[in-house]
Amino acid sequence: MGALEDRFGSDGLWVSVVIATFNRHELLRRLLEQLDAQTIDPKRYEVIAVDDGSKEDTRDKLAGLVTKYALRIERQENAGAAVARQRGVDLASGRIIVVVDDDMQVKPDFLAKHLAKHADDNTVVLGRLRPDAKLADMPLFERFYARVLAQKAEAFAAGNAKVRGHDVYTGNVSFPRKLFLDAGGFDAQFRALEDEELGIRLEKAGATFAFANEAESIHGSDWTSMKKWMERAYRDGVYQAKVSRKHPDHPESSPWRHLPNLNPVSRPFMALSLAAPAATSFLAGAAIRTAAAFDKVGLEPVAIAGATFVYGIQYYRGVRHETGGIGDVAREYREFKRGVALLRSGEKGDASAWRTLTEGVKEDHRMIRFYAEKYDAREREEESGTGTGTGTSESRLSLASDAVKKIGFQLMIAYRVMRFFRQAGPGLGAQFMSRSIRHAFASDIHWDAELEPGIVIVHGFGLAVSYAAKVRAGCILFQNVTLGYGNDPETKLAGAPLLERNVHVGIGATLYGPIVVGEASKIMAGCVLSRSVPARSIVEAPVPQVGARAPVRPRNGV
């Protein structure tokens, strides 16, 4: 243990093990007992298990369990694994957090192997998931998952693939607690793929990734329902689309990345799942029954191929549900291909920055026209001279004409130019543009603020946007909006708002802190918001109190 003491010191907690559990107190007991046999000193680690609203209170079921290490079992109302794990990390005191699932089994050197891979304070370690020795007795879908995980693990172990953020899974992973908190922790809006979404943010926060082949956990799932597995595949598609929308700059997280690599035979069926999801629901049911029949007669390879096919159908049905109409599907797929083409082109410096500038301005302009047609506020906007209307022949003129007439569009062009300097290299140019925006539009927008192409600014003055703020495509910001840096009142974490797609923020609204405003939400005028809100929320300010003034007293009897 000398090397570990040199790295982590001889005092205090080295590691906190965090486990989210739900209706598995016997499996949890087995894991907690195995953690009691670890080779490192029990004084150097603790275990925090969070019961996510199980039918029976896990604390009562494990009340008699005695461990050499410090064990804490908490209980919460059912809110999902992400919330449970976040609570566990919030309660943790160790420098390194190890997250493991409640149905895993671990060897005595499990924690030591994880710690040995932590070379510095930016390392994230992915441990190996191995299937239970009784894999052959498990349902078909569990064998399907085991094969997928085994192929990926072999590639990591052999050095044929490098671990990236989107590879992170919470069945067996460890990371420095400070790095986790700096990245913002788990996003409670994700009831699936919360581990992949966290991994992407860890990568963006500067994490390096290591694979610990010997820090293995044995996975023996108790899932038996084929119906629930198919629902899970559908849900994976829904949340993969959500991850992709939150991280459009990370094409590896896009659900569209699989399409070009699909078997030519199955590709039309995946396309049909996107085009006609209701029709392919029947097809998926028939295919999984056929796969199960092949499995019963010993043709496991054929059965596994069938399960893979069914998973793909369900997955892309979920993607379609989250994406919207078939037109939205086509648009997002085009955007994905364009992003991949840019990455493959190898453009750097001025060339790439110029492309980003021009395409960003075009998309901002397109969104202006889109919203003008949607809300049909043409006459009012034309009268003000600062709106986004497109109703008259004059407003249908070129992008150049709109750039002259629409103040909000002018501000977005100035922002795109500022980002051009930021991307191309001359940082002084970006700072100069930031000061120019302040004087020209009375708006303070930092050059590191991320405003995706397709943002609409109405009236274009009085904005204050933090360097850490992120605004997704389709958002509308009215005048005097603040997206400010601040602390979460509960977690005390620092950061700035993330506005998901198509969020509307009204006049004079102030949003601050590391909050997430869910997609298609509306923040009404005058609101002050310091907490996250789910998709399609309406946030309203208190209604002003209106009363009658006191009557004027007569003077000198008059």
* Nearest in space to 316 (alpha carbons), one of 382, 233, 416: 233
Q: Say which CATH topology domain 349-539 has.
A: UDP N-Acetylglucosamine Acyltransferase; domain 1 (2.160.10)
In the predicted structure, residue 521 carries a pLDDT above the cut 50: yes
pLDDT of 427 reads 64
Question: Is the fold of 2-222 the same as that of 349-539?
Answer: no
In CATH terms, the superfamily for domain 2-222 is Spore Coat Polysaccharide Biosynthesis Protein SpsA; Chain A (3.90.550.10)
Mean pLDDT is lowest, of 65-69, 76-80, 220-224, 435-439, for 220-224
pLDDT of 425 reads 64
pLDDT tens, residue by residue, 153-176 = 888 988 888 999 999 999 999 999
> What is the residue type of 455?
I
Mean pLDDT of the chain: 86
Q: Which two tokens stand for residue 483?
A: 């997206």
Taking residues 184-207, report their average pLDDT.
91
**Beta-strand pair 45-52/104-106:** unpaired
pLDDT of 3 reads 80
What residue ranges do the domains of the chain occupy?
2-222, 252-344, 349-539
pLDDT of 344 reads 56
**Beta-strand pair 470-471/528-529:** unpaired
pLDDT of 273 reads 94
In the predicted structure, residue 242 carries a pLDDT above the cut 70: yes
In the predicted structure, residue 455 carries a pLDDT above the cut 90: yes
Taking residues 362-380, report their average pLDDT.
74
pLDDT of 430 reads 84
d(CA 532, CA 101): 27
In the predicted structure, residue 390 carries a pLDDT above the cut 50: no
What is the reported pTM?
Answer: 0.66
Strand partners, 477: 457, 505
pLDDT > 70 fraction of the chain, expressed in percent and rounded: 90
Taking residues 437-448, report their average pLDDT.
92
Treating both helix axes as pointing N-terminal to C-terminal, what angle do 277-296 and 300-323 enclose, rounded to 10 degrees? 160
d(CA 185, CA 86): 7
Task: Tell me the chain's radius of gyration from C-alpha atoms.
Answer: 27
**Beta-strand pair 208-219/104-106:** antiparallel
